[in-house]
Amino acid sequence: MLELGSLKMKSVLNKILKKKNKSKIICLTAYSKNIAQIIDKHCDIVLVGDSLGSVLYNYKSTKKVTLDIMIEHSKSVRMGIKKSLMVVDMPYNTYRNSSEGLKNAKKIMRITKCDAVKLEGGTKIFNTVKTLIKNKIPVMGHLGVLPQSAKNFKSKGKKKSEKKKILKEAKLLEQAGVFSIVLECVETQLAKNITREIKIPTIGIGASLYCDGQVLVTDDLIGLNQIKVRFVKKYENITKKIRSAIINFKNEVKKKKFPQKKHSY
């Protein structure tokens, strides 16, 4: 299917492709080595998402995330991954045409040692995706709500015209050679239809349990990022635990209980 750069990468990718209609694919985001090390054992895919723009840098949109920012975080994440497929988002305005996309994708792959890149869009990126695949760069697609270009973050696929367009673009991306497609905030029945009609895996975020896998921003699900959106379930309140640790540290310092002799040289 794809001529990949390494046998290990090909093996990991093939395992993901074989999960189609059999077992769910687990995907989470990481922006640093520390988080990557924790989630790697439990994920099939680790995504260095340009969502780091809002999560870490407080940007109002992902458009301000630069190639250099993505590369630096990806270098850190790479050090924490041993088994998962590492995918890096290509940021806004880095793949406006095939030549620009290829140049920047090669740079990302070379410097970060990632396994694949992710691009948003359908028809507009068809030729770029084909060019990347031809140059042995695995690509993950992304349809539905497209954060890099969205004017609003309303769910997609409720209108008949949207349903037709998104389904058509999913098939187009499959034809171009992507190994999977993220469906963001896509209406349930449409997500189900796409998953049924294409042979590659779909990864949902706010797109129902009918997708072949699910992705969430790790900071959201552990409660570190206090975002409130419909598709996020908070599995832990890590903010509360961090606050407790900080208060304990402060109190021990003030009461001269820390550092003890065993913490000193």
| Residues labelled catalytic | 184
- For residue 217, which of 53, 92, 11, 91 has the smallest C-alpha distance? 53
Distances (CA, A) of 181 to 177, 226, 237, 247, 255: 11, 27, 30, 43, 55
Enumerate the H helices of 19-66 as residue ranges.
Answer: 33-40, 52-55
Q: Look up residue 53 and give its two tokens.
A: 């723009």
Q: Look up residue 153 and give its two tokens.
A: 């973050």
CB 50 within 8 A of CB 66: no
Q: Look up residue 88 and give its two tokens.
A: 């890096």
Tell me which DSSP letter residue 97 carries.
S
Query: For residue 124, with 0-12 CB atoms within 10 Å meaning exposed, 13-18 middle and 19 or more buried, which class applies?
Result: middle
| Rg value, the chain, Cα | 20
Helix (H) or strand (E) holding 247: helix 238-254
Distances (CA, A) of 34 to 31, 73, 79, 213: 9, 11, 9, 24
CA atoms of 54 and 31, how far apart (whole Å): 12
